[in-house]
């Protein structure tokens, strides 16, 4: 059952929507009945209810046929009326509880979406606002250190990746690291080292892994990079608003993970439902006879199914496609870094390469490296190369261009 949650992580495309809406969905839903995670989740309790109903039916039949010792009393028959009077409260409770779980699921989706969106927004701001070279503040410190520039760890990084501290790709790397460490933080499946190995440099990786709260560590790195990028204070403010939004979106995710629905709510609903289903065969026998066995099974299936859905989606992160969302964010950031040069040329007046600019622009996302030859400005290679972010062999890369 826990394994089945992993297969639920999907994102919809236009074709999925068409299938979702098509008239043949009813057939499809019946065909996939056996594979449903919900159905497998409630198989056991439905079987219990059915077995209990069978026992009641057998006992009652045997009693009616006088096969039982005469001193055994018949099973009590519950009148329909109290069942009716409470069926309403039961249904309301079930559906409201499921609705509260749905709100949690929706908020989880929204909050993680806000993380990726805000990362994209920070990357957008950095692409247009950050100066191209290292900031003066960094320059100073960098000069005084006079160390050889540490080689980038990513195998796809071109050797011309001059300064590891050029703030734009630096920020982009840490935004990607933030996304992945959030995924690791909200799931228990991945190892942080494996996820971040191709994004961060070894010493950065060691620091993140050793930190008390990896996403917080990334947020602090991002704050520092923004602060030392040499921007005017107003733009630092704007970017810091986005960092604050990241903090609170992450906190919303943690809140959902920390705090279930009030347990008394969940448990009372569950006990109410089990008690009601246990009374059902005693009530139905006089109305349906042995036919009550499939009927009780069906009733148990639909009502337990509603309750199971409520529990199933209460913790949203293990059924959301977090990896795909983070992957899309990475692809978007990589595209921004790659397209930056094209945009700059379009804005500043199509200076020297008017003829082949369109072609170059068209080629830019596909092969950002080969534009280095045509442009002679000094600071562009750093941007276009964007070393650790090309994510060449990552399986997430192919998601970047899908629209939905």
Integer-rounded Cα Rg, in Å, for the chain is: 30
Other beta carbons less than 10 A from residue 105's beta carbon: 20
**Residues 111-130 contacting a second copy, CB under 8 A:** 113-114, 116-118, 120-121, 124-125, 127-129
Residue 258, CB half-sphere, CA atoms under 13 Å: how many? 6
> DSSP label at 260?
P
Q: Does 332 engage in binding with a second copy (CB under 8 A)?
A: yes
Looking at the Cβ atoms of 245 and 372, the one nearer to a second copy is 245
Nearby residues of 357 by Cβ (< 8 Å), 6 or more positions away = 342, 345, 346, 350
Taking the complex as a whole, how short is the minimal distance between the CB of residue 155 and a second copy, in angstroms?
19
Distance separating alpha carbons of residues 60 and 141, to the nearest angstrom: 88
By CB under 8 A, the residues from 79 to 108 that bind a second copy are: 79-96, 98-100, 102, 105
The least distance separating a second copy from the CB of residue 363, rounded to whole angstroms, comes to 7
C-beta closer to a second copy: residue 98 or 161: 98
Within positions 9 to 68, which residues make up the interface with a second copy, using CB under 8 A?
11-12, 14, 16-18, 20-23, 25-26, 29-30, 32-33, 36-38, 41-42, 44-45
Q: Rounded to 5 degrees, what are φ and ψ at 159?
A: -65, -20
Per rule CB under 8 A, is residue 383 in the interface with a second copy? no
CA distance 162 to 79: 83
* DSSP H or E segment with residue 339: helix 322-348
Q: Cβ 344 to a second copy, closest distance in Å?
A: 7
Considering the rule CB under 8 A, would residue 297 count as an interface residue with a second copy?
Answer: no
Q: Is 312 in the site for a second copy (CB under 8 A)?
A: yes
Give yes or no for residue 254 binding a second copy (CB under 8 A): yes
Q: Give the CB-side neighbour count of residue 215, counting CA atoms within 13 A.
A: 21
396 part of the interface to a second copy, by CB under 8 A: no
- Which lies closer to a second copy via its Cβ, residue 259 or residue 393? 259
- Distance from first CA to last CA of the chain, Å, rounded? 29
Minimal distance, residue 396 CB to a second copy, in Å: 13
Residues in the interface with a second copy (CB under 8 A) total: 189
**Closer residue to a second copy in complex, CB, 70/143:** 143
164 binding a second copy? (CB under 8 A): yes
Select from 68, 207, 369, 396 the one that contacts a second copy (CB under 8 A).
Answer: 207
Is position 6 an interface residue for a second copy (rule: CB under 8 A)?
no
Question: How would DSSP label each residue in 264-298?
Answer: HHHHHHHHHHHHHHHHHHHHHHHHHGGGHHHHHHH
369 is a contact residue toward a second copy (CB under 8 A): no
Closest CA to 280 of 48, 123, 67, 93: 48
For residue 199, count CB atoms less than 10 angstroms from its CB and return exposed for 0-12, middle for 13-18, buried for 19 or more. buried
Q: Is residue 354 a contact point for a second copy (CB under 8 A)?
A: yes
Query: Residues 222-251: x/- map of binding to a second copy (CB under 8 A)?
Result: -xxx-xx---xxxxxxx-xxxxx--xx--x
């Amino acid at each position: 059952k826990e394994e089945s949650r992993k297969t639920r992580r999907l994102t919809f495309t236009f074709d999925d929507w068409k299938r979702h809406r098509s008239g043949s969905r009813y057939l499809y839903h019946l065909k996939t009945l056996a594979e449903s995670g919900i159905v497998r989740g409630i198989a056991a309790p439905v079987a219990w209810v059915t077995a209990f109903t069978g026992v009641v039916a057998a006992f009652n039949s045997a009693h009616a046929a006088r096969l039982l010792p005469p001193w055994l009393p018949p099973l009590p028959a519950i009148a329909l009326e109290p069942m009716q009077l409470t069926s309403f409260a039961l249904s309301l409770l079930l559906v409201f509880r499921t609705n509260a779980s749905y709100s949690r699921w929706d908020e989880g989706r929204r909050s993680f979406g806000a993380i990726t969106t805000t990362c994209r927004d920070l990357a957008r701001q950095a692409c247009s606002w950050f100066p191209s070279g290292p900031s003066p503040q960094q320059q100073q410190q960098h000069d005084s250190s006079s160390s050889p520039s540490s080689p980038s760890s990513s195998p796809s990084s071109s050797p011309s990746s001059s300064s590891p501290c050029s703030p734009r790709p630096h920020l982009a790397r840490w935004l990607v690291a933030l996304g992945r460490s959030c995924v690791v933080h909200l799931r228990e499946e991945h190892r942080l080292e494996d996820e971040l190995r191709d994004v961060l440099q070894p010493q950065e990786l060691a620091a993140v892994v050793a930190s008390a709260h990896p996403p917080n560590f990334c947020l602090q790195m991002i704050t520092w990079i923004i602060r030392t990028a040499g921007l005017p204070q107003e733009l630092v403010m704007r970017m810091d608003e986005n960092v604050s939004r990241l903090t609170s979106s992450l906190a919303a995710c943690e809140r959902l993970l920390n705090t279930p629905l009030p347990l008394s709510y969940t448990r009372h609903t569950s006990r109410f439902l089990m008690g009601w289903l246990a009374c059902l065969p005693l009530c139905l026998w006089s109305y349906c006879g042995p036919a009550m066995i499939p009927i009780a099974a069906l009733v148990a299936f639909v009502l337990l199914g509603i309750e199971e859905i409520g529990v199933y989606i209460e913790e949203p992160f293990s059924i959301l496609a977090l990896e795909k969302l983070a992957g899309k964010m990475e692809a978007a950031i990589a595209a921004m870094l790659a397209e930056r040069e094209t945009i700059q040329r379009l804005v500043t007046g199509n200076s020297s390469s008017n003829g082949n600019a369109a072609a170059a622009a068209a080629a830019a996302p596909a092969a950002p490296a080969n534009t280095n030859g045509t442009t002679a400005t000094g600071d562009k290679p750093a941007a276009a190369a964007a070393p650790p972010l090309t994510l060449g062999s990552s399986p997430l890369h192919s998601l970047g261009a899908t629209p939905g």
